[in-house]
Structure formats: C-alpha cells, structure tokens
Amino acid sequence: MFFRQTFPGRKDSEFSKNSNFDESRRAGRADASDRSRGARRAHRAAGEIVLGCRGKVAVTGMGKSGLIGQKISATLASTGTPSYFLHPAEGVHGDLGMVTKDDVIVALSYSGETDEVVRILPVFARLGTPLIAITGTGNSTLWRAAQAVLNIHVKEEACPIQLAPTASSTAALAMGDALAMAVLEARGFQPEDFARFHPGGALGKKLIRVKELMVTGDDVPQVEEAASLDRVVREMSARRLGMTCVMGMDQELRGVITDGDLRRALEKTEDLPKLTAGDLMTIDPKTIDQDEMAAAAVQLMEAGAITSLAVTAGADKLLAGVLHLHHVLRAGVV
C-alpha cells in the first residue's frame, strides 16, 4: 500500500481523475506555448508515483538539465514532497548510496541518452525504485527505462543554430513545476503548510500566528479589578508593555488599562489614591484570538490606534497572552 502524506486542506490525497493534471495545465498556461503543450502532456501516472513515494524524490540530470533538476527538487521540497538532487557524475562515485528502495527517481535528459544519466539507470532498476523520465526523445534509453514519461519534445530550440538548450530546458522546467503543482493540489497543501517550510520568506512571515509571538504566563501583565492605582502602575512598569489586563474573580478578562487610560485619569481625577483598576479600565477591550494571523492583529491595532492586544483562546475567550506591536515588528510581519 502506498504511503501518502496529506495536509489539513484535503482528507484524501488520491490523485483525482478530475484533476487530471489540471494544476499542471494551469501552470503551463502561465508559460509560453511550448511549455504549455509540454504541461498538457504530463502523465497522471507520474503524479501517482510521487504520491505513493515512501521515501524522497531524487531528481537527477546533467548540465543544463541538472540545473533544471535542482530547481524542480527545490520546488518539490518546499511544497510538501521531500526531495533531493543527485548529481549523476557524483552518483557513480558513491553518491548513489543516498538512494533507497523507497525513493522515486525523476531523471532529466532531453536526448534520453546522456551518458552520466544512462550509466546509473541499472542501479535504480536493481533497487526497484520507480523512475519518472523527463525527456523529449521517444524510444531513447531513458524513455524505455521509465515507468512514467513526461514528454517535453519541442519542434525547435530558440537558439539560432539549434544547439543551446533553450525551449527544451524551459519545457523541462515547466513540466517539473507542473508535476509539483499537481501533487501539491492532490495533497491538499495549504498556505499555512507553505509558511511552515518558508519561515524566513515574506509569505511565511505573513502567515505567522498570534500565539507564536505573544507573551504568556508570568510575562502577561494582569491585576485584579479591585487593585489600587499603585498596584496597577507597578504591574505596568514591571511588564513594560504599556498596558495591563484586568481580571475578574473567575479569571475572566474584564478589561484593560493602557498608558493612555492612566494619563486621562490623572487629568480628570483629583482623588487618585481611591481609584481602582475597575475605575480605570476600558471595558470590552479589543482582543484577538491566539489562532489569528499576526498580520490581522496589526490591522486591528492600526484601526484602533493602539499598540497592544489582549489575546484570547477558545470560545470562552479566556486570556491566553498579550501581543504588542513591537513583537510583530521584530518578527518582520510588517
């Protein structure tokens, strides 16, 4: 039985007949005509092989095909399919030891006869690793050895002397991307999954959740509703977040007190020692759930002209932490 990695966005990672490489065609339409034609020829069998992979997808190719292969491998890895690049020349000098029987091979060679690639094909056959060929030459050695072929044949290269790989290498790249996107769709891969693999990227930062940045536990400023003004000031000064949460007897969030609330109280009240947290707090303050995106918290802060938010958890909206604008800025969310 095939092992299939799934993601929350889709329960069934079977390669749907309805998709039939719809994702690859969508990717192909974004490219030039030769690439689009190559994407439409993608075989659903290749997608099934990748989805059934118990190990990793090893991509191999020589020269320009090798460079394209490295990019395809990187795309697979970043979209939920573990992958690595195997240099065919290094392979015959020991690197074939990286390949296991649970892996899947994707081999690139437009001619299908690249010596360094052809030399390692028997090793894959002995291991029993499924082979997907990305080639443009029918009945070539690579074509015949493969369990699935992604045909990237082009009528002519863009090179005026028809020697430099141009249209063919572009078709190979588009076909590899098409395969990766089709598998991504079949796995139910979501933006949150992408962010998990790209913590340093712009998208990854945009998808950081509030709970990853907020302060929790003893670092959360909080006082009881009956706390004195002196107690409120000390708590706010100690936690250095410019606010404190006001808690009821049942540990329910009753309100918040900000630096601004204190300043306004000083301006309006003469008998300051008698003030309690309950007198100073803003009732029904703006809050955000811990599972919301940090970017959404920034929008809420900007709309309310505030710099911090009480963070709640669950339907009962119990206090889970506090998020300050500085936490978001340090994480590079904005």
Residues 304-314 have pLDDT tens digits of: 999 999 999 98
Q: Give residue 314's pLDDT.
A: 82
Q: Is the pLDDT of residue 26 over 60?
A: no
Are 149 and 234 found together in one domain? no
CA 195, 198, 199, 204 torsion: positive or negative? negative
Q: Give residue 6's pLDDT.
A: 52
CATH of the domain at 244: 3.10.580.10
Classify strands 243-247 and 131-135 as parallel, antiparallel or unpaired.
unpaired
Q: Is the pLDDT of residue 140 over 60?
A: yes
Burial class of residue 29 in the structure, from the number of CB atoms within 10 Å of its CB (0-12 exposed, 13-18 middle, 19+ buried): exposed
Mean pLDDT of 116-121: 98
Are 161 and 215 found together in one domain? no
Is residue 2 a part of any domain in this protein? no
167-187 and 22-29 helices cross at what angle (nearest 10)? Answer: 140
Is residue 196 a part of any domain in this protein? no
Q: Give residue 202's pLDDT.
A: 75
Is residue 165 a part of any domain in this protein? yes
What CA–CA distance (Å, rounded) separates 62 from 67?
Answer: 8
Q: Give residue 9's pLDDT.
A: 52
**Which distant-in-sequence residues (6+ apart) come within 8 Å of 64 by Cβ?**
165, 169
Nearest to 296 by CA among 285, 311, 283: 311
The pLDDT confidence band at residue 206, using thresholds 50, 70 and 90, is confident
**How many structural domains is the chain composed of?**
2
CATH of the domain at 35: 3.40.50.10490
Domain end point (choices 190, 223, 253) = 190
Mean pLDDT of 72-97: 96
The answer, as to whether pTM is greater than 0.85, is: no
Is 73 in contact with 112 (CB distance < 8 Å)?
no
What CA–CA distance (Å, rounded) separates 50 from 58?
Answer: 10
pLDDT tens, residue by residue, 209-229 = 999 999 999 999 999 999 999
Containing structural domain, residue 168? 22-190
Q: Give residue 57's pLDDT.
A: 98
pLDDT tens, residue by residue, 152-196 = 999 999 888 888 889 999 999 999 999 999 999 999 988 778 877
Domain end point (choices 156, 190, 224) = 190
Q: Give residue 21's pLDDT.
A: 53
Quote the mean pLDDT of the chain: 87
Is residue 117 a part of any domain in this protein? yes
Q: Is the pLDDT of residue 301 over 60?
A: yes
The pLDDT confidence band at residue 1, using thresholds 50, 70 and 90, is very low
Nearest to 321 by CA among 199, 226, 216: 216
Q: Residues 44-60, buried b or exposed e (16+ Cβ, 10 A)? A: bbbbbbbbebeebbbbb
SS3 322: strand
How far from 194 is each of 28, 132, 152, 198, CA to CA, in Å? 21, 25, 28, 6
Is residue 6 a part of any domain in this protein? no
Are 47 and 177 found together in one domain? yes
The pLDDT confidence band at residue 28, using thresholds 50, 70 and 90, is very low
Q: Which residue is it, tokens 């095939």?
A: 2
Are 164 and 29 found together in one domain? yes
What CA–CA distance (Å, rounded) separates 283 from 225?
Answer: 11
In sequence order, which ranges of 79-166 are alpha helices (DSSP H)?
Answer: 88-91, 115-127, 141-145
Mean pLDDT of 92-96: 95
Residue type for 249, please?
M
- Report the share of the chain in percent with pLDDT over 90: 70
Are 29 and 138 found together in one domain? yes
Is residue 1 a part of any domain in this protein? no
Q: Where are the beta strands (DSSP E) in the chain?
A: 57-61, 83-86, 104-108, 131-135, 148-151, 222-224, 243-247, 253-258, 282-283, 287-289, 308-313, 318-324
Mean pLDDT of 20-37: 50
Are 306 and 183 found together in one domain? no
